[in-house]
Chains A and B, each alone.
Chain A
Amino acid sequence: MEIHRQENCIELSELDPFLAELLRQIPESTETEGAEGAHQRLFSSPAPASEREICAEWKLYVEPELRRLFQSATETVTSDLRQLNGSTKPFANCTLRIPTDNAESWLNALNQARLVIASKYNFTDAELCDHYRSPIGSRRDLGLFQVNFYGFLQEFILQELHL
């Protein structure tokens, strides 16, 4: 994979089918259905439990707003990822261009995905810091690879756009 900053976009070229598939899985990875811990992480408490009034109002008024924000970011990413569906050859490398205007949505969706995956697999701090773990031998290993790969993309977007 090669990654470059172009004038109005970030270009990920020479994407092999494996990395392209990981990118396709970003929207799906943000889903928290059936994973209460992941849902609680995305919609964390705004105050200590003793502040019942604040927490109750938050659930009523703020959480729906946050849900819309997260959903909007994921939809933008889903739309950009449609570029990966154009290849006629099933195992050909492909290119993805992320418009700079969508960079914040990408950062948000990547963060959602990383938090949800990390919560589902309950990764330890040591595992999350082990960026060179290989090979991928289980679904859990793949999850950790996803978290690191999405983190790498976040770092690149941040660096390139000086956000």
Chain B
Amino acid sequence: MATVAPGNRLKRERFVVMHSSFGSSVENPVIEQETRAAEEIDLPWQVVVHNDPVNLMSYVTMVFQKVFGLPREKAEKHMLEVHQLGRSILWSGMRERAELYVQQLHGYLLLATIERAN
């Protein structure tokens, strides 16, 4: 996936096939140019949770289960990753959803950030 600087617009060419009313032959195909905002084809964003020595491991596991609907084993795996490596990527995808997840995590007082995926 290409890197797009914020604010730039990408141009995409689209072929529109003009069908004849009386047959299926293609006549004079028209090439339309279409622009899409960079945000629409945004790079994925990541929800990253960072280590915090105060939050309990059991509490962090519970939060991952609640916010992301993870099974206990997977939630514990991410919790241990946070604990041992300092951070764990919990989710990646569209920015709006990532922001919503981070908001929920902050509601539970976890240290979480939204970051652009490399």
What distance in Å separates the Cβ of B94 from its nearest Cβ neighbour in chain A?
Answer: 14
Scoring A residues 119 to 163 as 1 if CB is less than 8 Å from chain B, else 0, what string do you get?
000010100110000000000000000010001001100110001
Are B115 and A47 in contact, CB atoms less than 8 angstroms apart?
yes
For B99, list chain A residues within 8 Å (CB).
46, 54
CB-contact partner of B113 in A42, A47, A112, under 8 A: A47
**Chain A: interface residue count, which band?**
20 to 34
Which applies to chain A's interface (DSSP): helix, strand, loop or mixed? helix
CB-contact partner of A62 in B62, B106, B115, under 8 A: B106
**Roughly how many angstroms separate A100 CA and B87 CA in the complex, as a whole number?**
32
Which applies to chain B's interface (DSSP): helix, strand, loop or mixed? mixed
Are B113 and A48 in contact, CB atoms less than 8 angstroms apart?
yes
Are B109 and A115 in contact, CB atoms less than 8 angstroms apart?
yes
Are B113 and A128 in contact, CB atoms less than 8 angstroms apart?
no
Q: Does B103 contact A (CB under 8 A)?
A: yes
Are B58 and A158 in contact, CB atoms less than 8 angstroms apart?
yes
Q: With contacts A46-B99, A151-B56, A155-B56 known, is A54 near B106, CB below 8 A?
A: no
**Roughly how many angstroms separate A52 CA and B101 CA in the complex, as a whole number?**
19
Name the residue on B nearest A44 (C-beta). B111
Chain A-chain B contacts (Cβ-Cβ < 8 Å), number: 63
Are B62 and A46 in contact, CB atoms less than 8 angstroms apart?
no
Are B59 and A111 in contact, CB atoms less than 8 angstroms apart?
yes
For A42, list chain B residues within 8 Å (CB).
109
Name the residue on B nearest A118 (C-beta). B54
Are B56 and A128 in contact, CB atoms less than 8 angstroms apart?
no
Q: Does A23 contact B (CB under 8 A)?
A: no
Q: Does B79 contact A (CB under 8 A)?
A: no
7 extra interface residue pairs, beta carbon distance < 8 Å, beyond A154-B56, A158-B58: A42-B109, A46-B113, A47-B115, A48-B115, A66-B106, A112-B109, A125-B53
In the complex, the 5 A-B pairs of residues with the closest C-beta atoms, listed nearest first: A118-B54, A125-B53, A111-B109, A47-B114, A163-B62
Q: Chain A interface (Cβ within 8 Å of chain B)?
A: 42-48, 51, 54, 62, 65-66, 69, 107-108, 111-112, 114-115, 118, 123, 125, 128-129, 147, 151, 154-155, 158-159, 163
Q: List 28 A-B contacts (CB under 8 A).
A: A43-B106, A44-B106, A44-B111, A44-B112, A46-B102, A46-B112, A47-B115, A51-B114, A54-B114, A62-B106, A66-B107, A69-B107, A108-B107, A108-B108, A111-B109, A115-B54, A115-B55, A118-B54, A128-B53, A128-B54, A147-B54, A154-B59, A155-B56, A155-B58, A158-B56, A158-B59, A159-B58, A163-B62
